[in-house]
Amino acid sequence: MIAWARTWLFRILFYGASVPIVLSAPLSARIGRDAMHAHAHVWIRLHRFLARWILGVRVRVQGTRPPGTYLFAVKHQAMFETLEMAELIDGPLIVMKRELIDMPFWGRTARAYGAIGVDRDASSRALRVMLKEAAVARTEGRSVLIFPEGTRVAVGESPALRSGFAGLYKALNMAVVPVALDSGHCMPRRGSSRAGVITIRFLDPIPPGLPREEIEARVHAAINVLEPAAGGAAPA
């Protein structure tokens, strides 16, 4: 009961505060990219603050984010890392489901920040559109953030990478930084949230230009190193 009470209090406060933040985002977008990023990071820090002081969720970062521009391939278990990684990477272009970008108002805000839409069907046309949008990363000198498994998964699940990841890796010709995490222990997709420590681990960069089978295998293994089946440590 206490866990559910904390979960609902967190949701009421976070989503309630999110409404004016998201509605006012277009005003920041008109000023410029820096203003838009600063606006978004207010939202991100609000989420972090509420998670820490209401849910009792703390963050432990292992490894170091390398300097420069990379394709960051991140494990996805909760909404938590969608926001937290944007802060840790400092304003990357984010690959997300196109249905989110097509949402009224929110979609325009996401695009102003820097979102790349990808369709679930992964058709050749959908992939071409995604790659065209991602090419902006080269011209703007920004990193790209992708959740290569495609959607949030439960703790212990490690599905194959979606085909869009390999296409993006090849088109951008960027080194990949895999990021493992275990947010699902504290903030599962279903059920109440629990107090604890979320580990975010930056792995060593993987060079560009590798064959599809090799890059997919290496990234898949790296982002799942904290999973129980891979011998990852249980959360503290």
3-state secondary structure 187-214: CCCCCCCCCEEEEEEECCCECCCCCHHH
- Model confidence band, residue 37 (pLDDT cutoffs 50, 70, 90): confident
**Which range in 81-95, 107-121, 210-224 is most confidently predicted, on average pLDDT?**
210-224
pLDDT at 53 over 70: yes
Instruction: Work out the average pLDDT over 87-105.
Output: 78
Rounded to two decimals, what is the model's pTM?
Answer: 0.89
Residue of 234 and 17 predicted with greater confidence: 17
pLDDT at 117 over 90: no
Confidence (pLDDT) at 111: 73
> Measuring CA to CA, how many Å separate 118 from each of 42, 160, 170?
26, 17, 16
User: Does an H or E element contain 117, and which?
Assistant: strand 115-118
SS3 assignment, position 58: strand
Q: How far apart are CA 147 and CA 42, in angstroms?
A: 23
pLDDT at 234 over 50: no
pLDDT in tens, 140-160: 788 999 999 988 999 999 999
Q: How far apart are CA 16 and CA 63, in angstroms?
A: 34
Residue of 222 and 137 predicted with greater confidence: 222
pLDDT at 209 over 70: yes
The set of residues, in sequence order, having a beta carbon less than 8 Å from that of 25 and lying 6+ positions away, is 36, 39, 40, 109, 112, 113
Confidence (pLDDT) at 115: 76
Closest CA to 214 of 150, 172, 161: 161
Side-chain-side CA neighbours of residue 75 (13 Å): 28
- Model confidence band, residue 232 (pLDDT cutoffs 50, 70, 90): low
Q: How far apart are CA 101 and CA 19, in angstroms?
A: 17
